Amino acid sequence: MKKAFDIAALTGENNPLDRFPQLYEAALDEFSARSWREASLNDILRQSGVSKGSLYHHFGDKFGLYVALMDKIAQRKWNFFMPRLRELGEGGDFFGFVKALSREMMAFMYQDPRIYSLNSRLISEDPALVRRLTDCFPQQKEGMLKALAESALRTGQIDPRFSAEFVTKVLDILFSSLHLLRDMNSSRDAFGQLELTLDMMQHGLCGKGPAEG
């Protein structure tokens, strides 16, 4: 019998994936390699050794498993970034902070490329799925990037023609596409290309770069 969807029973300290590490690995493999529609629940169960009855009992269905997986990834991100963000501090320099954050995101991506691949897929996923997922994690909708963009607008570091929402969306797309830089020989090479992109955002294609100005 399928369990009724209950976000509280799938996230945080109650996340059932804590008891099924093999299911976490199998689900991450499958959802990072294929779109939501193409991902095979049967392949996940076969790889993990978990029965369909057990999955229905603990997660309800494919979406319940997906939500639990995204929650575990969010926990891993939080544990990875928070100590580093405390060290970075805001410092008032919007672009300096974004570059430092980008370096940490690049390090996170190279730590487990599957996570970044999964996150990048959300851009092209079915909008209905994305909305449903966003409803499950409303606290992530207005994140740190928007707060930083609003602060930068107040302090004149961003052209007032651009709204905080627009800047946040551009940065979100950029960060979600970092996996495209993984053809570089190293994370250092990839970050070098990303830093050029951020310099272009800050100074414009025809503006003076930091070395010239």
How many whole angstroms separate alpha carbon 98 and alpha carbon 151? Answer: 13
Beta strands in 101-152 (DSSP E): none
Q: Give the confidence band of 106 by pLDDT, cuts at 50, 70, 90.
A: confident
Average pLDDT of 156-168?
90
> CA dist 200 to 43, 51, 84, 160, 208, Å?
43, 51, 25, 17, 9
pLDDT digits (tens, 9 = 90+) for 57-89: 999 999 999 999 999 998 888 887 777 666 655
Q: Name the strand (E) or helix (H) holding 162.
A: none
Q: Give the confidence band of 142 by pLDDT, cuts at 50, 70, 90.
A: low
